[in-house]
Amino acid sequence: MITLTPLRNFDVPVHASCINPDEFKSKTLKEIAELPVTEGNRNLTLSDLFKIEQDKTETPSITLNGDFKKVKRVGQGMKTGEIIINGNAGMHTGERMAGGKIVINGNADSWTGSEMKAGTIEIHGDAGDYLASPYRGSGTGVKGGYIIVDGSVGNEVGCYLKGGVIKIKGNAGIFLGYHMTDGAIYVEKQCSSRTGAAMTGGKIILAGTVTELMPSFTIDSIKPKVKVDATQSVAGPFYVFLGDLADHGTGKLFVSKTNNPQLAFYEKYL
Amino acid sequence: MAEILVKNGFVVDPTNKIDGEKMDIAIKDGKIVKKVNERKAKIIDASGLTVMAGGVDIHSHIAGAEVNMGRLIRPEDHYKDAVRKTKLTRSGTGYSIPSTFVTGYRYSTMGYTTVMNGSFAPLKAKHVHEELNDIPLLDKGTYPLLGDWWFVLENLAKGDIEECARHVAWMMQSTKGYAIKVVNPGGLESWGFGHNVHSIDDQVPNFCITPREIVRGLIKVDKMLNLPHTIHLHTNNLGQPGNYKTTLDTMRAIEDLSTDGKPVAHITHIQFASFAGDDWGKFRSGADEISKYINAHNHITLDMGQVIFTDTTTMTADGPFEYTLYTLSGHKWVNSDVETEASGGIIPFTYKKNNAVNAIQWSIGLEIALLVKDPWKIFMTTDHPNGGPFMSYPRVLAWLMSKKAREATLKRCHKKAQKKSLLPSIDRELSLYELAIVTRAGTAKALGMPNKGHLGVGADGDVAIFNINPETTDIAKKYKAVRKAFKESVYTIKDGKIVAKDGEVVDNTTPGRTMWVDVKTKQPCIINEEMKRKFREYWSIEYENYPVSDHYVKVSDKLTVEASV
Amino acid sequence: MTEFKSVVCPICGCLCDDLEITVENNEIVKMKNGCAVCEAKMVYGYKSEERILKPMIRKDGKLVPVTMDEAIHKAAQILVDAKYPLLYGWSSSTNEAQRIGVELAEELGSTLDNCASICHGPSVMATQEIGIPTATLGQIRHRADLIVYWACNPWTSHPRHVERYTAFTEGRFEKSEWKNYMLKLKGETGKKKIEAASKRLGQYSPPPRPQVCMVDAPPKSIQKMGRKMIVVDVRKTKTAEAADYFLQVEPNKDYEIFSALRCLVNDQELDIDKVGGVPVDYLKDVADAMINCEFGAIFFGLGLTQSLGRFRNIEVAIALTRDLNRRTKFVISPMRGHFNVTGANIVFAWQTGYPYAIDFSQGYPQYNPGEFTINDLLRRGDNDATLVISSDPGAHFPKSSMQNMMKHPLITINPDMNAISRLGDVVFPAQWCGIEYSGTAYRMDSVPIPLKKVVEPPPGILNDQELLERILNEVRAIKAQKTEVQTKVKGEVRSAAKTVKKTAKRTKRKVA
Ligand code: SF4
Ligand SMILES: [Zn+2]
């Protein structure tokens, strides 16, 4: 295991896509120390910014101790191994990840798990905007993998989701599951408006309250319970909505009946 | 300026009928000369290498409002192809629509020295020139869209060809353009209200004119003005199944306009205009019909518009065509109408081997290029970036020169395409000599550029040296090596300076010239107050602010021609 | 006295190019054709007493005048020393200056952002998500019979937009609605006069103002042939008064309304009967008007880009426009504010591939609004030096963001002492673009228009392009010096090491 600890507080962003188990795997400690990073526009090496230590433990492969909020792209594109971040994580953590695991014992900044294909990300604090959402202009969302957030998430989470599961134990912002085509998103507490806008497939499960529903969803049925994934199903009852009609979509939106009495008027269409 | 002597290379120069002779090429003051002082000159030892003139691309969308809109809407495309700044070169981004500097570098490292920009709307002419200024290492020119310009439609409908010619001359000067571009004649005006024309005899709404009349009229104008290039034509119904008939109709409609056996029109990206079959399901190649016609006639030149299997961005002034593409693909769609002149559209597009239509398209481009017997009639393009980015030219060259290369690709294509393709029945493999024609000699000739595309004394000092030894390599068999050789020239010399070496830019001080045509009509277009009022009515900017002043052309290369009107 | 014709107004995105200007003793004394906003700047504003006439540097907390060379050196030094500078502004500069700006950012490895970031950046982002069917303004003037202004008020923000490009213009296929509007206006003023008179006579009590937003039903006239104008906004504006139909919507409900309209245009039924305070039946009428027109055009403003949902609002508006093209011809266009903010996007895009929110720290351009946009950079306090050119961002950001900016050196380039220049550490004067120097700007519909120079600038002041070129050269000079020193130091270290080794060897030998 390699342990990295920042040598000081960073005031400008640090770009460190080399912090990646696949990169470290077959390298000596000296080689790791010389991996390139940037602090702002300055080209430096890993050891210029972090204290690097090695011990014999196998998992996790990398431990990051301290505040990594300004450190971008940790674990980008990783395929194997495990990273534990004991502190906050910066933007684009685990972007395009294709396997392995990242555990964040703190908050995650925006674009965490962006365009990931497989693997697991556990966030024990809150997550920012664009969790599991693609890069600008791209319609290629997350294809698979598993993301679990203990806290709340920001806006536009799970955009263009194509596969995989996102579980959020806290609240979610607007445009959750925007334009998703497949996969599942589960929110335990409150969810803001425009949920599932432009979605054409997949499912979103809202067990808590919802601020407002898109006008372009139509009620389909009431279900007693719903399956999130192979390991979990949630007891309802749930209103089941279909949408987004504006895009001729058939995505499913499950909304807790008990927590959302304001939606009772939809029942007359059943 | 330094003198250069390229020694002992195998020179391939079709214009001067030189086919692989071992010769020296001398360059001085930016021009090819008989000889230079060997002791003073920089000597390039080209033994074992092939020496050609710098490449001349006849149709590639590298600059202007439409191209830049394509850049702007595709961050996800640039993301995967970032280009670092170096000591000599600027940074930028690539893939399907590289940023301006990167465009210059990438063309140059492939041995190209001249690139003609496929089209631009005259109202946005300043934009295209501002971008051309930022494309280094290349000579450039650009074609104004004139086929649906109201002044043209009105004058032609009135039958006043001379007045039309005077306006076109004015436009050519005002926009600093090189050739008359006609895109889906009549279709762009119709698209103003969301319609299109579907044959060359359809009426253009509100204008009492047909595509046939527009094309014929502008060919006459082109001749009256003595422009160096013929009209540059993108035919009606482009990209629609069965359109090869429209293309044949168009070609037949202008047969009689060629008097001296010379071409009167260049039909661009012919692949997109050679579709047979009644609908997408019955889609097949019209290459046979088109090439037969071309083989029997001399009034048309073509370029391929070859499709590459890759992720790219389509863009054309043909607004209705791009809309059709949108309805087929559902991708992000840009439409950009330009008042009184043109329209335009953009759709990102991925050509896939396992898509029957795409694979047949790929086959069509190659079929025509191989079935047309005379290489001086059809040139190599991908209609960058419509068929694929220009960086894939070496792949196209490999398919042209090697049956083996074609087979290797075809066998991975959709079954339907494999069954329908004519390629297995075609044995032709282009020689280096023929490749030089379709990439430089032929294009330069069609463009009316006597100083380009060849290595005769007096030609521009634009030379490309490739790592191909024609004595020891069978290019058809060793197509992979040759493909690599065309990807990175050993040397690219522009205006007598070595600008690129082994795929890297080594001298970035040559901005390249902008070539444009200054047509002197006997009687100039009269711009009086009445005319200015009309301008104000037609456009939303003032007459005075319309023309492209000299300020917009960094290095101006003006070609003055005397018109016969 | 000199007369200039076809002068371009360097103020808003309309870039009206028909001004007639009279100059006397190097001063503009008269202006014809421009609007009131234009007159205020062209005839009076540019001569402001707040004009900066000399470069200044902050010494001991006070701005003191210095020579141009000193200021340029100081600015360059700040930029080279910074690890992550930000270059921001550009919307009131020429393309020619913006080009140099990109080069400077690249040389520095800095972030580069323009004012689109705080106005129509979301429109650009939406275009990247979904594309955009649009047209030049002349096309709309010639053909549009339905004009929709959504969340914008051209009457005050783009005063000549309606008269030059849309409802009140004569096109080839559509006629001006000006006369009808005048009639309507007369009717209204007549009514007001009667009201006022009756009030005076004490016979009339005006009807009570409705407290909640009451949406009027669409009038029959929006289905008629010929030109009609619809305004959608959260409050009744001057533009709304001129419209055939004003649709008042609840704030932050635009996304929902567009979605509902899309459903209706795509022949879907809605479960609910009111969206954003508007009865669905009204929306059906609006959808019908949109489908039945010959050529429709939507213009939208900051009310969409800066309200809840931001770029997704534009995305759904574009999606509606796109869907409408299955039924008729429809285009959509942002009402770009500053006269050359469009140009900044265009120039950045051709040089880097990206329109704004660019980062060069890795040696190549990276793009990501939300990461490299000024408000996000400032909020997180990422930068350690800032250069602001031809803009006044002070007003747009929260205090904490401004404090983050003020922690580090600030360089400003502006013609007059605006709020941001007052805060600068190096303060450059500048020429008024389009008045004192010429160049190119792009209209809101991306049409390039040449700006004119009509008066001479005050002596000694450089234009943006010249100034940036000089800063760039100075930056290169300082960097070259630095590397020279570095290689020298390295060389010395190496030779020192050698001597050490040598002596070591010698000592060894001695010992031996
Ligand atoms: S509308 Fe805008 S550009 Fe036109 S005159 Fe007024 S301020 Fe100037
Ligand atoms: Zn083309």
For B411, counting Cβ atoms within 10 Å of its Cβ (0-12 exposed, 13-18 middle, 19+ buried), the class is exposed
C137 lines ligand 1 (CB under 6 A): no
Rounded to whole angstroms, the Cα distance separating B42 from A226 reads: 78
Q: Which residues contact C174 (CB under 8 A, 6 or more apart)?
A: C141, C142, C143, C144, C145, C226, C227, C295
* Closest chain C C-alpha to B64 CA, distance in angstroms: 9
The verdict on B74 touching A (C-beta cutoff 8 Å) is yes
% of chain B residues with pLDDT over 70 = 100
pLDDT value of position C368: 97
SS3 B252: helix
B103 CA distance to ligand 2 centroid (A)? 16
C13 lines ligand 1 (CB under 6 A): no
Q: What is the pLDDT of residues B442-472, one digit of tens each?
A: 999 999 999 999 999 999 999 999 999 999 9
Atom of ligand 1 lying closest to residue C14 CA: 3
Give the pLDDT band of residue C189 (cuts 50, 70, 90): low
Rounded to whole angstroms, the Cα distance separating C381 from A40 reads: 12
Task: Give, in words, the CATH class of C121-196+214-334.
Answer: alpha beta
Q: What is the pLDDT of residues B166-202, one digit of tens each?
A: 999 999 999 999 999 999 999 999 999 999 999 999 9
Atom of ligand 1 lying closest to residue C159 CA: 1
% of chain C residues with pLDDT over 90 = 79
* Distance linking the first and last C-alpha atoms of chain B: 41
% of chain B residues with pLDDT over 90 = 96
- CA torsion C428→C431→C437→C440, rounded to 10°? 70
In sign, the C-alpha dihedral spanning B242, B243, B246, B247 is negative
pLDDT of residue B117 exceeding 70: yes
Q: What is the pLDDT of residues A187-229, one digit of tens each?
A: 999 999 999 999 999 999 999 999 999 999 999 999 999 999 9
State mean pLDDT over B380-402: 97
C31 lines ligand 1 (CB under 6 A): no
Rounded to whole angstroms, the Cα distance separating C225 from C245 reads: 15
* Closest chain A C-alpha to B344 CA, distance in angstroms: 20
Give the β-pairing of B4-13 and B42-45. Answer: parallel
C447/B545 touch (CB, cutoff 8 Å), yes or no:
no
Give the pLDDT band of residue C498 (cuts 50, 70, 90): low
Atom of ligand 1 lying closest to residue C12 CA: 2
* Closest chain B C-alpha to A175 CA, distance in angstroms: 20
DSSP C457: P
pLDDT value of position C208: 52
Paired residues of C298 in beta bridges:
C148, C332
The verdict on C391 touching B (C-beta cutoff 8 Å) is no
B92/C352 touch (CB, cutoff 8 Å), yes or no:
yes
Residue nearest to atom 4 of ligand 1 (CA): C16
- What residues in C contact B540, CB-CB < 8 Å? 136-138, 141, 164-165, 447
SS3 C265: helix
Question: Which residue is closest to A70 within chain C, CA to CA?
Answer: C382
Which one of C104, C271, C321 makes the best mutation probe of the A interface by having the most chain A beta carbons within 10 Å?
Answer: C271
* Closest chain B C-alpha to C63 CA, distance in angstroms: 36
C35 lines ligand 1 (CB under 6 A): yes
Q: Which ligand is nearest to the CA of B238?
A: 2
Q: Which residues surround ligand 2, an ion (CB under 5 A)?
A: B 118, 383
pLDDT value of position C168: 87
Tokens of A249: 């979509």
- C375-413 in b/e form (b: 16+ CB < 10 A) is bbbbebbbbbbbbbbbbbbeeebeeebbebbeebbbbbb
C128/B73 touch (CB, cutoff 8 Å), yes or no:
yes
pLDDT of residue C507 exceeding 80: no
CB atoms within 10 A of CB C194: 11
C337 lines ligand 1 (CB under 6 A): no
Residue type, A239: Y
Rounded to whole angstroms, the Cα distance separating B394 from C408 reads: 51
Rounded to whole angstroms, the Cα distance separating C53 from C431 reads: 10
Instruction: List C-alpha distances in Å: C472 to C92, C361, C438, C468, C479.
Output: 20, 17, 21, 6, 11
| CATH 3.40.50.740, chain C: domain bounds | 50-119+339-475
A175/C312 touch (CB, cutoff 8 Å), yes or no:
yes
pLDDT value of position C211: 46
**Ligand 1 test: best mutation among C6, C16, C432, most atoms within 8 Å of CB?**
C16
Query: What's the fold here for domain C50-119+339-475?
Result: Rossmann fold (3.40.50)
pLDDT value of position C494: 62
**Ligand 1 test: best mutation among C7, C38, C435, most atoms within 8 Å of CB?**
C38
For B507, counting Cβ atoms within 10 Å of its Cβ (0-12 exposed, 13-18 middle, 19+ buried), the class is middle
pLDDT of residue C511 exceeding 50: no
> Of B511, B505, B481, B515, which Cα lies nearest the Cα of B405?
B481
Q: Which residue has the higher pLDDT, C493 or B38?
A: B38
- Residue in this structure with the two tokens 């103003």, named with its chain if needed: B192
pLDDT value of position A58: 85
C389 lines ligand 1 (CB under 6 A): no
Contact call for residues B366 and B308 (beta carbons, < 8 A): no
Phi, psi for C454 (deg, rounded to 5): -120, -25
Range from A7-21, B67-81, C42-56 carrying the lowest mean pLDDT: C42-56
pLDDT of residue C204 exceeding 80: no
pLDDT of residue C488 exceeding 90: no
Q: What is the pLDDT of residues C386-403, one digit of tens each?
A: 999 999 987 778 888 999
What's the whole-number average pLDDT of chain B?
96
Residue by residue, pLDDT tens for chain A (270 residues) are 999 999 999 999 999 999 999 999 989 999 999 999 999 999 999 999 999 999 988 888 999 999 999 999 999 999 999 999 999 999 999 999 999 999 999 999 999 999 999 999 999 999 999 999 999 999 999 999 999 999 999 999 999 999 999 999 999 999 999 999 999 999 999 999 999 999 999 999 999 999 999 999 999 999 999 999 999 999 989 999 999 999 999 999 999 999 999 999 999 998
Contact call for residues C471 and C76 (beta carbons, < 8 A): yes
The verdict on C362 touching A (C-beta cutoff 8 Å) is yes
Give the pLDDT band of residue C183 (cuts 50, 70, 90): confident
Atom of ligand 1 lying closest to residue C15 CA: 3
pLDDT value of position C256: 97
Give the β-pairing of A184-187 and A165-168. Answer: parallel
CB atoms within 10 A of CB B29: 12
C367/A70 touch (CB, cutoff 8 Å), yes or no:
no
Q: At what angle do helices B393-401 and B356-371 cross, to 10 degrees?
A: 60
Looking from the CA of A71 toward its CB, the CA atoms found within 13 Å total 29
Q: What is the pTM of this model?
A: 0.95
* Closest chain C C-alpha to B43 CA, distance in angstroms: 32
* Closest chain C C-alpha to A34 CA, distance in angstroms: 17
Q: What is the pLDDT of residues C255-265, one digit of tens each?
A: 999 999 999 99
Chains linked to B by 3 or more Cβ pairs within 8 Å: A, C
Range from A163-167, B313-317, C485-489 carrying the lowest mean pLDDT: C485-489
pLDDT of residue C194 exceeding 80: no
pLDDT value of position C512: 37
Contact call for residues A131 and A154 (beta carbons, < 8 A): yes
Q: Which ligand is nearest to the CA of C162?
A: 1
Q: What is the pLDDT of residues C265-311, one digit of tens each?
A: 999 999 999 999 999 999 999 999 999 999 999 999 999 999 999 99
| CATH 3.40.228.10, chain C: domain bounds | 121-196+214-334
pLDDT value of position B456: 97
C11 lines ligand 1 (CB under 6 A): yes
> What DSSP line would sit under B456-472, residue for residue?
STTSBS-EEEES--TTT
The verdict on B76 touching A (C-beta cutoff 8 Å) is yes
Contact call for residues B185 and B526 (beta carbons, < 8 A): no
Q: Is the peptide bond before B211 cis (omega within 30 degrees of 0)?
A: no
A245/C368 touch (CB, cutoff 8 Å), yes or no:
no
The verdict on A211 touching B (C-beta cutoff 8 Å) is no
pLDDT value of position C210: 47
